[in-house]
Each structure stands twice: as C-alpha cells, then as structure tokens.
Structure 1
Amino acid sequence: MSSPAETLARLLRGVEEIHSRAELEKKLSLGRPLRVKFGVDPTSPDIHLGHTVPLLTLRAFQDEGHIAVLIIGDFTAGIGDPTGRDTTRPELSPADIAANAKTYQDQAFKILDPQKTEVVFNGDWFGKMSAVDLIQLQRRGNATQMLQRRDFQERREAGKPIAMHELTYPLLQGWDSVVLKADIELGGSEQLFNLLVGRHLQEQMGQPPQVVLTLPLLEGLDGTNKMSKSLGNTIAVNDPPSEMFGKAMRISDELMARWYPTLFAERLDTALHPMEAKKQLAARIVTRFHGEAAAKEAREGFEQVFSKKEFPKVAMTIVNETSLALIKLLVAIEAAPSGSQARTLIQQGGVAIDGQKIIDPNHVVDCEGFYLKVGKRGFYYVTCLPDTPQKNPPSSLFN
C-alpha cells in the first residue's frame, strides 16, 4: 500500500502550480472520494493531445478512488473562452456544439474510467438562468480585475475589441465549481485566472474553496503555439494510427525534448539517436490510444515508406467498381474527413495520382490500381477491383 507521500507524488506528477498544497493534503485526508473537476468546451469535434495532459492527471485521481467530474461546456462553448485569444471567438451553432459534445465524451473515455466519471453539461444550469440570475452572478465579479488580464491588456493596446460576454466567461466557469461543489479543479497553466475565480465564488457561497492544479501547455506541431485545432497543429486522439505516428515524426528535436516530460513525465533519453527517440515517442503516443499492435504496424509502415522509399505491399480494395469519383475515394480511405474537405484538398494541389497532381475536384479515377499521395505524408496504393497486380511506384511521389 502506498504511503500518503507516494500517493501525493503520483497525483502531482507533471503539475506546474498548486493552490494550495496544504489544502490538497487536508482534502486527501478527509477519507472520502474527492470531486475533481475538469471542463472542456466542445468548440471542435476532436480532443487532441493537449487536452489529454489534464485528462491523464484526472485519471490518476480516479485510480486513487476519487471522482472525475467532466464538464462538457455546451453553454460556455457558445460564448467562447477568451483566454489566450487575440480576437473574439467565432459563434458556434447549437447543432455544431451538440455534435462536438458527443464526440468529446467518446474520446475522453479513451483515458478516463467511465465507471468513475460524472459527465455533466453546464447548459443544464445556465440554460435555466434568468436575466436577473445572470446579473446577480456578474455582481460577484470585478471588471477592473478582468481587464487586467494579460490577454485583454494586449487586445486593448492593439486596439482590438473585447466583447462584453467575454468578461463574463471566467464567472461562468467559476460558477460551475459552485454548482458541482468541486474539491479540486484541473486546467492548463493559461487557465489559472479562471480557476481562481472558482475558488473566490465558492468562498462567497460558503463552500470550501477548491484546490487548483495547473498543468503545462502542450505546444503544437509547429513548436511555437499551444496545440489548437484552429491553428492546425494538433494530433487528435481519434487520428488513425499511421497518421498519428506520421504527425509525431514531424516535430522538431527541441519540441520532442519538451513533449516527453509533458506527455509521459519522463526526460528524453539523450543516449538515443534523435530519430530513434522520436520513433519511440510516436509509438508510445499511438499505443496510448490504439494499442501496441497498431503502434508496431504504424512504425513499420512509416519506415517502409520513408526509410526504404517503398509503399505498403498490400493493396487497398475500396469498392468493386471500375471507376470512382476522387472525392468519394478520399473520404472512403479516410484521407479526408468529409467531401467538402476532400474538394478543398484537391483544389489546393494536395493530391497526386501516380506522381501527377490532380486539381480537378470532379476527377474520376480509373480503378486498375494506382498510387495516391495526399498531402506530404499520406501514401496509398489503391485499387477498386480485387486481385489487381501492384505496379512499381513512380519516384516522383517521394519528392
């Protein structure tokens, strides 16, 4: 059985800030399951690796017998968290929010134990608020303090507008903690202001203030900005194994050294060749979400294409037809998530067949067997008819 010190060390692995350690130790000694809160706004359909950093800490609390309270911010997603933003977030439709919320739950359970998780939607309480209720909540905030936030100061200095509803967002996030009687709240390091608002509101309402734990931000594939769907620098937990592996292999050596401690609480093994270290990192990421067999196959596929300049030996049989619309094909092999995105990909010059770039979105492919390149790292051998002999790929595909 672990000692209290060992348990605390496991729970705080990777944590950047605690408010406060003494309060956390006191709560852990209460002898009851603690309610550990983490919230996500469904502003996109995918959870990415950046989201998983606090989710892994949330799972650590579950493993110690505590309750994970996962808030799906279906109401707050319609407002948009202004944290770290230099512009107001675009408005989402209720239908988009509802669709995204469903995928968030499914993906979060790749990490969390569903039996120890409460999934709640903050629209359940905010949607019932009257205008008077909202004004009463706003009375508990301080606009002067809100405007002193760095992101708001930068926007003011740049002459960029700050919408009134953005000043309300931290109060709404904090009120979630009051409604749920949270013992602990987790968030990224940029969320500290919002998390402390939750403590403030709980104290005002006569509740014990929640302990706040912040986790480091995971930088995206570009190595500059935090991982964000809107910036296109993410690895989504639902990405196919080969795509997930290939994306991880694109990061710089410097970023790799920062990803190891953030994702796995380990330092980069400097005795390894950087390429091998990166392959091991990519394989561990794939293993976490798809299993060891998928990670092994993804690594072998990557090495086959990029190290040996070969294509997979097994042809992909799509459908028993003699021809197929290129857009339909890209969706069928999951090279594009939708027909509209497949069309855009083609029009932007991101698709080549047997080394020839295709920019006509109405192009129809001949299904006798061909090599398809999608983007920089999507390689496929495609045949729509079974038992089609595979031919040698043109060297221009690797350029």
Structure 2
Amino acid sequence: MTHAKTPQFAASDRVKEALAVTLRGCEELIPPDEWLKKLVRSEASGKPLRIKLGLDPTAPDIHIGHTVVLNKLRQLQDLGHTVIFLIGDFTTLIGDPSGRNSTRPPLTREQIEVNAQTYYRQASMVLDPSKTEIRYNSEWGDALGSRGMIELAARYTVARMMERNDFHDRFHAGTPISVHEFLYPLMQGYDSVALKSDLELGGTDQKFNLLVGRHLQSEYGQEPQCILTMPLLEGLDGVEKMSKSKGNYIGISEDANTMFAKVLSISDVLMWRWYTLLSFRSEAEIAALKVDVVAGRNPKEAKVALAKEITTRFHSSAAAEAAEQDFINRSKGGIPDEIVELAFALVPDGAPLGIAALLKMAGLATSSGEGNRLIDGGGVRIDSAVVSDKALKLAAGTYVLQVGKRKFVRVTLA
C-alpha cells in the first residue's frame, strides 16, 4: 500500500521510529529526504515540528473515513510534535473544487458556523486536545483583503493551475470553471504560509492543493513543507470510498451498538486494510494476527477485536463490551436490553390490529405493502417467533417486533 520510498540518511533509532510511524499506511511522502532532515533537526534542537491538517466544515458530522488522517496526526502528536487542526471557515466560503466536474456552490457563513461547532469536538475523540492547536483560516483570510489576494494570485500561474486534473478535464469538456475556484488552492496553500507548517496531511485527492502550499512557502521565503497523502478509506461495501451520500459509512457519533455491528459487516479482505489505516495496534501485532488467521484462526475473532477497538475509541470499553453482547444476542435471535418503546390505542372499540399496519405505525416499514413483503421474506418476528401469516391481528398486550437482525421495537397496544 505504501508507495513512499524510505530515504537514505543517517538517523537515530528515535528518528527511524518517527519515520516508520509517518510511512505506515501512507500513499506518498513528498519529498522523503526533506522530511527525514526535519525529523533529525527537530531531535537535535528539541523543537517540535508543526504538522497541519485542514478540514472544511461542509457537513456537521465526521465519519471514520475522515479519521484516517486524524489517526496519523495522533501518532505524530504522540511523538511530541505540534498538531494544528485547521478549520477552513474561510476556504469553505469558496468551495473546494477537488474532484468536482462542476462548480460547487459555497455554503453560507451561518451553515459553516453550525458545522464548525461540532468538528473539533468530534476530532478530539482521536486527537489529544491538550496537544492540539486549533485555528481558523478566516484569521488571515479576512485580513488579506483584495490587495493581498491580488498579490497572492500573482505568485501562481494559470498554466500550472490548469495542470489539475479536474480543471483540465472540465476545460476540455467545455464545462464552466469559475475564476473563484482558482482561489481555493491558493488560499489552502497560503494557510501553510500563515502557519509555517513543516508537514501537511491530506487525502490523495488533495495532492495538488498541498503542492501549492509548498510552492507558496518558497515564494514567501519559507522552508517548504513536506506532504503526506493518505489513502481514501473504502466504505462498508469495500468498493467505493466511504461517503454519507453512498450510505457506506460509519459516523463517529453513531451509537456503540450500530458502530460495532457495522464494523463486523465488512469483508475479511477489507478488515486488514482497516486495521492498517484505523487501528492503533502496531504493525507487528497486525502481522501476528494475520499469521494466526492464515494458520486457521477464525477471521471473525480478528474482526471483533477491530470492532471493539474502534467502538472503544469513540465510546468506552464498557460500551464496546455491551455492543459485542448485543450483537451476539441479535445473532441468536435474542432481544437487546434497550429498545425503543411505543404505545398505540386500538380503535375502534379495542379491535385487533393487523401486523402489516402495526409495522408501518412502529416505523419498521414505510407502508403496509412493504410490511407484507417483509413478512413474505421471513424477516418479521414477534417475541422472537417468525411471522408467516400476513393476516395476523394483534389484540391488546405488549409485543417485541423485530425486522431483520437489528431493528427492534417494543409495542404496547391498549
């Protein structure tokens, strides 16, 4: 997976460890020799390096795909370096065109502020808040002004800007490109100038923008930052990158039971990639797990260990243990301890209620027709017993309705 070359340079064991941590799971380190020199200099001087990650608050929540770079930040943070978590409240007003085939509508200031409120709180589930410097790029973006923006734009050519794949493709396809979209990589690059960053992290889709930062730092007389790109994490389907729009994601604010179950739903092949990019276990530990599985150990045991680690990180060890037991109960057809409870009145005159109508009322089916289809498929249970009769009517009483393995509702009819 790692395409970065290990540089040849005299270094202490501690620096070699820092380099190994940097390279783990990464896509590319640019340029590796410069990063090693920075690590050596940092060790000699005792001055931590400044490591930057910028995220635009385009949505209110973060999923675990976003935590691939956050995990890398935490690993470097634990080595003693300074992590700068940059919230792009200014660049979000422009809208990142990366990977887009059309102009992206910018968010309003109000939308940005609402989204930004939750970003750092969620990122702090991975980062050490006491060792994290949080910044907003409106600090220098607003102060730059029109004169400063013109001076900044003069430091980069249109020809180089058109080397970006998305701009190049849109231009040749005759798809409109707004002038303001050129300002996005310039402003992201200027963030590195303002923060004097030594290393900037990002997904592989951000490589062009990160390189602009290197160029602009040279233009402003600074030592250029190094760049570390991380792979885009495949989602639950193992094919598409994790995305809320594709529904193949795990939100870091999801409840523990759902998070645990979603991790267990991934393939055995995808599990090892997730281990590399999401786990804090050492590479030696992961390699030992692989050896055990090849030797005959059930891969589900390794997957359970990964699910517990991820669930513990965003909840607690107790919540992870409870989620494992809940999953076991559901797999055996058991009823979880905590489920939604609803109550409905039987009308008219306490007449029994049809099961399909009840499924709709309880939110387990979008319509009575869907309820009937679920029954036909054997996916509906009442008090753990499979329902096969679509004409079933329920009188007054309390029942546990189940659809599939994970949807439960306790219903009281009166």
- SS at 2:104's partner residue? coil
Q: TM-score, normalised on structure 1?
A: 0.78
User: Superposed, which structure 2 residues align to 1:117-156 within 5 Å?
Assistant: 117-156=132-171
Equivalence for 2:319:
294
Answer yes or no: is the 8 Å Cα contact 2:333–2:405 preserved in 1: no
User: Cα deviation per residue 1:233-273 (whole Å; 9 max; x = unaligned)?
Assistant: 22111111111122223323332232222223545724343
Equivalence for 2:184:
169
- Distance in 1, Cα, partners of 2:17 & 2:158: 42
Answer yes or no: is the 8 Å Cα contact 1:38–1:69 preserved in 2: yes
> What is the CA distance between 1:11 and its match in structure 2?
3.3
- Distance in 1, Cα, partners of 2:323 & 2:411: 21
- Distance in 2, Cα, partners of 1:278 & 1:355: 28
Equivalence for 1:382:
410
- SS at 1:69's partner residue? strand
1:189 has 2:217 as partner: no
Equivalence for 1:9:
20
- SS at 1:128's partner residue? helix
Q: TM-score, normalised on structure 2?
A: 0.76
**What's the C-alpha RMSD, in Å, of the aligned pairs?**
3.3
Amino acid at match of 2:184: Y
1:25 has 2:50 as partner: no
> What is the CA distance between 1:116 and its match in structure 2?
1.1
Instruction: Structure 1: give runs of 5+ residues left out of the alignment.
Output: 324-341, 357-365, 389-399
User: Cα deviation per residue 1:337-380 (whole Å; 9 max; x = unaligned)?
Assistant: xxxxx99x958999999949xxxxxxxxx996444568x66423
User: Superposed, which structure 2 residues align to 1:1-399 within 5 Å?
Assistant: 3-28=14-39, 29-30=41-42, 31=45, 32-264=47-279, 266=286, 269=290, 270-271=293-294, 272-305=297-330, 307-312=331-336, 314-316=337-339, 346=366, 355=380, 369-371=398-400, 378-382=406-410
- Distance in 1, Cα, partners of 2:263 & 2:110: 32
- Distance in 1, Cα, partners of 2:368 & 2:96: 32
**Greater radius of gyration (CA):** 2
Equivalence for 1:396:
none
Answer yes or no: is the 8 Å Cα contact 2:50–2:199 preserved in 1: yes
> What is the CA distance between 1:203 and its match in structure 2?
0.4
> What is the CA distance between 1:90 and its match in structure 2?
3.5
- Shifted more, 160-169 versus 96-105: the winner is 160-169
User: Cα deviation per residue 1:15-45 (whole Å; 9 max; x = unaligned)?
Assistant: 2222222222222223201111011111111
Answer yes or no: is the 8 Å Cα contact 1:246–1:377 preserved in 2: no
User: Cα deviation per residue 1:67-94 (whole Å; 9 max; x = unaligned)?
Assistant: 1111001111222222222333343222
- Distance in 2, Cα, partners of 1:377 & 1:34: 49
Answer yes or no: is the 8 Å Cα contact 2:242–2:248 preserved in 1: yes
Percent identity over paired residues: 47
Q: 1:349 to 1:26 in 2, by over 3 A?
A: farther
Q: What is the number of equivalent residue pairs in this alignment?
A: 355
Q: 1:127 to 1:246 in 2, by over 3 A?
A: same
Answer yes or no: is the 8 Å Cα contact 1:137–1:171 preserved in 2: yes
- Distance in 1, Cα, partners of 2:368 & 2:157: 48
- Distance in 2, Cα, partners of 1:296 & 1:89: 43
- Distance in 1, Cα, partners of 2:370 & 2:181: 38
